[in-house]
Amino acid sequence: MLFQAILIVFALFAIAKTSKMYKQQKVSVYWFMVWTFFWLVVITVSIWPTTTDIVAGWVGVEKGADLLSYSAIVVLFYAMYRVMAGQERQNKELTDLVRKIAIMEAKKPGSRGENK
């Protein structure tokens, strides 16, 4: 019971925080909706834990708690993939930028002229 209460309070806090960030235009409307939906689901499951058993039945998993665990693992792996892909893209962009600077500011041989 205590755990459920803590979860609900935390979810409400997260919704309030996301909402504030959206008002300050720090997150897009897309992310505001995604996060709000996610925390609303958390609140629903906290109040009525058996709802997960119904969804679990639809997808062929025995218990709702198991379904949550499996889903969390899949979501976390996907999130990690997205973070790594983003990091890789930023790495490439940084290399492109460094390359442009290096070529723009190339130092040509001085009085010696070109090597022969």
Partner 1 sequence: MRIVAVIPAYNEENRVHAAVADVARFVDAVIVIDDGSSDNTVSEAEKAGAYVLIHPVNRGQGAAIQTGTDYALDVLDADIIVHFDADGQMSGEDIKSIIQPIIEGSADVVLGSRFLGLKSNMPFGRLITNRLSWLFTLLVSGIKVTDAHNGFRAFGRHAAEEIRITLNRMAHASEILDQIKVRKLRYVERPVSIKYSSETLAKGQSFFNGFTVLKDYFKAKFLG
| Location of structure tokens 């010696």 | 112
Residue 51 Cβ vs partner 1, minimum distance, rounded to whole Å: 36
SS3 10: helix
| Location of structure tokens 């109040």 | 47
- Please list, in sequence order, all residues whose beta carbon lies within 8 angstroms of the beta carbon of residue 53, skipping any fewer than 6 positions away: 63, 64
Residue 91, interface with partner 1 (CB under 8 A)?
yes
| Location of structure tokens 């960030």 | 21
Question: Among 72, 88, 90, 93, which residue interacts with partner 1 (rule: CB under 8 A)?
Answer: 88
Residue 99, interface with partner 1 (CB under 8 A)?
yes
Closest CA relative to residue 7, chosen from 15, 69, 19, 31: 15
Residue 84, interface with partner 1 (CB under 8 A)?
yes
Comparing CB distances to partner 1, the nearer of 30 and 114 is: 114
Comparing CB distances to partner 1, the nearer of 26 and 82 is: 82
In eight-state DSSP terms, residue 26 is S
Residue 95, interface with partner 1 (CB under 8 A)?
yes
Residues that bind partner 1 (CB under 8 A): 81, 84-85, 88, 91-92, 94-95, 98-99, 101-103, 105-110, 112-116
